[in-house]
Amino acid sequence: MVADKAKVPTVERVLLGTMPSHIWVGAHEEAKKQVVSIIKQQACAKGECNRCTVCKSIEQQQYYAALWLYPEARYTLDQFDPVFKKLSFGLDEGEQFFIVIQKADSLSQSCANSLLKVLEEPPPGYYFLLTAARLDDLLPTIRSRCMIHTISHGVSSVAHQDLFDFLTTIKGYNPAAFSQQLYQSNIIERETMELADALLSFWMKQYKKGITRDAPDRTAQAEKVIAILKGASKKLPMPGSSKLFLRDLYLQIKGL
């Protein structure tokens, strides 16, 4: 049975509609709670009552329209056989199915490679919900195909805070000041990817706030920046090109 979508919180509907693959980064139990909540809000006729049989089945990982994966140590390719078997079946219009990959930072390179196409463009109605303890441990190819939600991430912990500040406000255009800060930063490729992830997390929060507070201008602005960041994530910097990558990102965001 498909839930009454009119009763599902608008933010969650929009988030899943924006991108079919998501990662929650944080302590395992907290990340799992977020995933459980998302599925409840989509499947429960009341949005997330926490009392009905649907909500209870989701909590117990027994919901018929969800497949949960968990690694023993590292994921192996055969663990994903049920995923691809399920994906081979088309869903009815309006039907949803959730594939939950817990501890996605335990994906081997071969497992990650097997998932790239379906993470980026799964069949209609399918959603991938991943969890991970540390953003740094996620393979870049996985990160670039998912919307990232950081649970325990504060702006104060962002590496290269000065660059982060330049890229989290639309107001003010000073490419000379940004370039000076950029060339003083000595930022490397790994840190650039971490900064890009932190930026996506920040702008996703702005997007959510815009929806929640019924602020269409803020929502539209954040949506444009998210599109820029998603595009940039598919063209991550090669060795030695981090500064050029970030300067181009700055010009695109400030050009909005």
Q: Which CATH number does the domain housing residue 148 bear? A: 3.40.50.300
Q: Which domain holds residue 194?
A: 155-256
Total number of domains in the chain: 2
Q: Of 122, 152, 182, which residue sits at a domain end?
A: 152
Residues 147 and 161 placed together within one structural domain of the fold: no
Residues 187 and 146 placed together within one structural domain of the fold: no
Q: What's the chain's average pLDDT?
A: 85
Q: How far is CA 124 from CA 12, 70, 94, 189, in A?
A: 17, 24, 9, 34
Instruction: Check pLDDT > 70 for residue 96.
Output: yes
Q: Model confidence over 54-82: pLDDT tens digits?
A: 999 999 999 999 999 999 878 999 999 99
Residues 21 and 145 placed together within one structural domain of the fold: yes
Neighbouring C-beta atoms of residue 206, cutoff 10 Å: 18
Give pTM, 2 decimals: 0.63
Q: Of 91, 122, 152, which residue sits at a domain end?
A: 152
Residues 100 and 162 placed together within one structural domain of the fold: no
- Mean local confidence (pLDDT), 18-29: 86
Query: What is the C-alpha to C-alpha distance for residues 114 and 250, in angstroms, rounded to an integer?
Result: 33
